Amino acid sequence: MTKANFKKIEGLWTSLEVSGHANFASAGNDIVCAGISTAVILSINLLKQFINGRFKVVENQKLGLIAINEIDYESLSDNEISIVDKIFTTLYDCLNDIANDYPNNFKIKIENK
């Protein structure tokens, strides 16, 4: 089972952690894992285009872990904050669609503080 945990504080996306293995199919053939990975990596690449160096990515392939955190909101302009919001919202929506289609392989959670 793959799990995605999003966190928001006072309306701002602060982190995402995706961990585990979907186990929908064997490695290299797992469409659930491929969809999740593609969406997350695309989002990371978009963040790099707009706010490079002002957030952190942690990866561990052995554990099936990828995380986005430590977004430096204090250094972001209002426009950049809006872009980050759009990227995270779109990623959440995409991953939520996958979770709805494959509930035995992927769970998604959002924490609001």
pLDDT tens-digit readout, 47-97: 999 999 999 999 998 888 999 999 999 999 999 999 999 999 999 999 999
Q: What is the pTM of this model?
A: 0.95
Task: Give the model's pLDDT for residue 76.
Answer: 98
The CA distance from 43 to 36, in Å, is 11
Residue 55 makes CB contacts below 8 A (sequence gap 6+) with 47, 68, 69, 70, 71, 72
Q: What is the CA radius of gyration of the chain?
A: 14
Task: Give the model's pLDDT for residue 63.
Answer: 84
Task: Give the model's pLDDT for residue 64.
Answer: 86
pLDDT tens-digit readout, 1-59: 999 999 999 999 999 999 999 999 998 899 999 999 999 999 999 999 999 999 999 99
Residue 46 corresponds to which amino acid? L
95: Cα within 13 Å, side-chain hemisphere: 29
Domains of the chain: 2-112 (3.30.70.1490)
CA angle 87, 55, 48 (to 5 degrees): 55
